A and B are shown apart, each in its own frame.
Chain A
Amino acid sequence: MSFDAAYKKQAFKSVGTRPLRPDGVDKVTGRARYGADFNMPGQLVARVLRSPHAHARIKRIDTARAEAVRGVKAIITAADLPDLTNGDAALFAILDNCMARTKARYDGHAVAAVAAIDEKAAKEALGLIEVDYEVLPHVVDVDAAMQPDAPILDETVFTTGVEPAPKAPSNVANRSEFGHGDIEAGFAQADIIVERSFKTEQAHQGYIEPHACVASCNPDGTADLWVCTQGHFVYRQNCADLLGLEVSKLRVTSSEIGGGFGGKTHVWAEPVALALSRKAGRPVKLVMSREEVFRASGPTSATSIDVKIGARKDGKITAASATLRYTNGPYGDMWAELGAMTSFACYDLENVKTVGFEVLVNRPKVSAYRAPSAPMAAFAVESAIDELAQEIGMDAVELRIQNAASEGTRSSYGPVYGPIGIGPTLEAAKAHPHMSAPLGRNQGRGMACGFWFNFGGQTCTDLNINSDGTVTLAVGTVDVGGSRASLSLIAAEELGIDYQDIKAVIADTATLGYNDMTDGSRGTFSSSMATISAARNAIEVMRKRAALTWDIPLEDVQWKDGHAHAAGTKYGNLAPLSVKDIAAKSGNTGGPIAGHSELVADGAGVSFATHICDVEVDPETGSTRVVRYTVIQDAGKAVHPSYVEGQYQGGAAQGIGWALNEEYVYGDDGRLQNPGFLDYRIPVCSDLPMIDTQILEIPNPNHPYGVRGVGETSIVPPLAAIANAVSNAVGVRMAHIPMSPPRILSALNRKTGS
């Protein structure tokens, strides 16, 4: 029988409480093992040689002198990672990004790697590898890359999504379009039209733990990989595909992960470590430096976005359009497309059109960053909506309420919405005391909304009832922020036992079936669904065992509050059997008791948030302080509310950093100028106020407990909320993220004409 995922209202005993997390003690005592905290006997140290050029043809690589260094055991180049991708463009991009083949496509692109007995020997060898580069013209700016005279990154790229197909190569990999209605007719009905262009700079996920792994290829064709990742099953597939290994022979164990936020969703250096291990015949440990993390992993797109919104005087939006240009790094992807889909997703629009352009530039390959692409689109759209409210003379929240999407609305990206939470978050914002609190001198208030899709995906769990009645829960989604606590609560709820009796672990790839990674806000949503299903399967086994114990028909055994009950009056003397009772007898009733679940958790349910923000801008320095911040978001059902709040607060803080400070700075030579935490400044403790949260619970109809993903949406509104607050504080519309002090000062100077 397939699992019924439909929401059923119920009173919860465990879900919604805030117990201590099971991995807490390990993490406060320094015992938790992250990517770099694992070693193997005889392991070598790996270091990667990276291109100093933004764009260069690799004419020749000579490793002879480097190989002669004492202690060097293996050196690899692209020749040691032959192309096995078989026409899969996405996989080829990952391969080429791991190790440049014909061209170095950005400053920091890997061109060779060394494994040696220690760091000293590895570094010495790196210095002796001779690479003959033919330096090519480069382009890093999104708008410049679209100019007809821009240097072309890839002569084989012809813009797709346009008719007729272009005859000349281009840095625009793809054009996408969404919308419905007739925007020209809609704009004709408008009394007021706001039209403005925006830019956002490239930000990095900024996880504190650099990428790290230990790879060990054995002579018998088996291999082990210890790695920090958001998805060890996906890493296994990536590595097996790129190295030509059999999936079952590569065992991947996910370490504790020190942050990912999308940046650890595909491989970067792991195939390199495996290839070095294969060549050297010894385990290899590869840990990126912080500089390498910035230069060669992660970042999100830099963007350039034009928005046009028209409305009647009564506040009804009649038409909206946006053109979004997103950098992709050197490989075409769908980042602008995601921006084009999400831009107007909060609103009920009769006429809407968005166009996205994927733009190739000589910057690192873009990877997902928490609700990828949505924050920049929301920045542009929500800024324009704010300006529209001012032009009409309407309250910014009221204007949004009047135009908010609701159940039955055709979304701007196509489908019609089911029950959604944008309206309730706006109503909660309107009623929130933050909205009416007085503001001080040089202060401004802003608010903004955000949307993200949320995913489910392939998931499985094993739930073992041990002989003492305690439960081991093995899940396959990496725990990025407390999901072992949440999933233990789910198992406790479903089985009717204490949270303390559950031990949740993340299984490796050899001990559990395939799981998609922890991305798309799916970890708790999907694995909780699989956990509920596994628990229900275990309960079925326990009912059978109780029936055997009592020697009564199965249909007379009911499960209630963690006990098997003999139903009806005829078994009046039979005391209910607890999980512990049934487990104790399991050896004589058929052996071990377990529940398993393999399913596809689809129907994650879209997510909305509204944020409110107060800032204070120093007119002398252009420096901005966030003085108050409130997050309102729909969680469907908050399983462990502390960690839901944590997701809201963490996403807001990342958005604040992006809005005010974080930015990749490139020199004219195309080299990254600030690959370190000193100059790429993420928010520190003294930069932020407490971040207030309000959790709304509008049940997701497609989850038994009503759970929705909560991880990503919280980063979508902050860029716009802060931009609106700053704009209101200084009286100038801020259209370029980050709003660093120099940008604010120059805006102030433009205003005063000085």
Chain B
Amino acid sequence: MTSIAVSTTINDDDVEFLCQPDETLLDVLRNRLGLMGAKEGCGTGDCGACSTIMDGRVVCSCLVLGAEAQGRTIETIEGLANGSELHPLQSKFIEHAALQCGICTPGFLMAAKALLDKNPDPTEEEIRYWLAGNLCRCTGYDKIVRAVQAAATEMRGESA
């Protein structure tokens, strides 16, 4: 098979890579670009551990082909913090103990970011349904939901 040359934008950087036609965006990120923050929990779009944001939408990067990244804008966990300043979601996840093993955390953070970008004041129910595509086996989701609520409050400029 012949490789495909792809030009794309990842975390605001111009990136070019070669990939096979059947190679997923997740494999490209992890194996070709060294961006290992996205995790493979299932490879079938069921667990959300590989969630990234493509053109403003949350996608399972295991269900997107690398070649589909051509001309798109992709956000991954590695670009969530602003330099050494954590995104409020990142800070609140740590403060609220919203992670135990942490394997699902990058996916949750990216999915939650996409939610708050769209809906800065979600209800608990909206948070729960938005995050229903991301599996966590450790926490029972309680502290994740609270962390997202706290981050939303902070991002709206309100005091908790």
Contacts and interface: CB of A to CB of B under 8 A. Distances in A.
| Contact, chains A and B (beta carbon distance below 8 A) | yes
Interface string B13-49: 0000000000000000010000111111111101101
Contact of A652 (B35, B40, B133, B140): B140
B43 A289 contact: yes
A32 interface: yes
Nearest to A38: B36
B144 to A, nearest CB: 7
A224 interface: no
Interface centre among A29, A256, A654, A685 (most CB of B within 10 A): A685
Contacts of A27: 99, 102, 105
A653 B139 contact: yes
Contacts, number: 175
B78 A30 contact: yes
Given A28-B99, A208-B47, A686-B129, A650 B39 contact: no
B101 A209 contact: yes
Given A29-B77, A480-B101, A686-B128, A676 B44 contact: yes
A606 to B, nearest CB: 24
A462 to B, nearest CB: 24
Interface stretch (A15-23, A63-71, A316-324, A549-557): A15-23
User: Is the interface on chain B under 10, 10 to 19, 20 to 34, or 35 or more residues?
Assistant: 35 or more
Contacts of B96: 642
Interface stretch (B2-10, B66-74, B86-94, B152-160): B86-94
Contacts of A649: 139-140, 142-143
B134 A678 contact: no
Interface string A174-209: 000000000000000000000000000000011111
A684 B132 CA distance: 5
A646 B143 contact: yes
Contact of A650 (B38, B42, B105, B139): B139
Contact of A29 (B42, B44, B81): B81
B100 A646 contact: yes
Nearest to B22: A120
B63 to A, nearest CB: 12
A414 B147 CA distance: 45
A16 to B, nearest CB: 14
B86 A678 contact: no
Contacts of B76: 30
Interface in B84-139: 86, 89-90, 93-97, 99-106, 109, 125, 127-129, 131-139
Interface in A228-281: 256-261
Nearest to A690: B142
B80 interface: yes
A21 B135 contact: no
Nearest to B103: A258
B49 to A, nearest CB: 6
Given A208-B41, A481-B101, A653-B139, 7 more contacts: A28-B77, A29-B37, A36-B39, A259-B138, A481-B100, A649-B140, A650-B138
Interface of A: 18, 20-21, 23-25, 27-34, 36-37, 205-210, 256-261, 287, 289-290, 480-482, 642-643, 645-646, 649-650, 652-654, 676-678, 682-688, 690-691
25 contacts: A28-B80, A28-B94, A29-B37, A30-B37, A208-B41, A208-B103, A208-B135, A210-B41, A258-B101, A258-B102, A259-B101, A261-B137, A290-B44, A481-B138, A642-B143, A645-B97, A646-B139, A650-B137, A677-B41, A684-B132, A684-B134, A685-B134, A685-B136, A685-B145, A688-B140
